[in-house]
Amino acid sequence: MSDKIPIFYGSYRSDRQGIRLANYLVDAFAARGASPVLIDAKALDLPMLDRMYKEHPKDAAPVVLEALAETIRTADAFVFVAGEYNWGVQPGLKNLTDHFLEEWFWRPAAIASYSAGRSAGVRAGLSWHGILSEMGMVVISSTLAVGQIGQALDAAGQPAGEGGAALARAFPRFADDLAWWTEAARAQRARSKPPY
């Protein structure tokens, strides 16, 4: 069975560099036999949060929210591509996640952070760890952190230079960790109904 893994990306900038990491992850997970799908907050053009998906009357949520809710509900695991903005999280990605709550529950999540500088977005990754845990996901301990994103991946999302080589070396452990927790969560859900 192929793991369904949405890969969430949230930059709204006109000259986005992190999309390279998102595309790399889609390709790398597909090469391992998973079924990844890129969820690009900018492409979805979600409204700023006014009502959560669950706060809309039944069958009255915007079409984009209905489709996204179904993608999240039927996913086996999640990957969040987390850029760092002023030591914090990207507002576009945060807005996307906050539209939902119960849809996230009882699945593992992984964080791949990045920045234009050498800090590789680790401060944003640390923030996302707490956010995703609070939203009912089990966040795996393995992370990817890509500094100098414009040099580590080319425009097509292919590893380049030392940074790209480091990413390619780190990805298998990251993916193995996520796969292990994905299988564990799937087995537990089959064995026992979640407590809430």
User: Which pLDDT does position 160 carry in this prediction?
Assistant: 97
Q: Which residues contact 31 (CB under 8 A, 6 or more apart)?
A: none
In this structure, what token pair is assigned to residue 132?
């995703």
User: Which pLDDT does position 196 carry in this prediction?
Assistant: 85
User: Which pLDDT does position 47 carry in this prediction?
Assistant: 87
- Top-level CATH class of 4-191? alpha beta
**pLDDT, tens digit (0-9, with 9 covering 90-100), for 34-47:** 999 999 999 999 88
Task: Give percent helix, percent strand, percent coil of the chain, each to the nearest 5.
Answer: 45, 20, 35
Residues of the chain with pLDDT under 70: none
Continuous H helices in 32-160: 41-44, 63-73, 91-98, 122-134, 149-152
CA angle (110, 67, 182) in 5-degree steps: 30
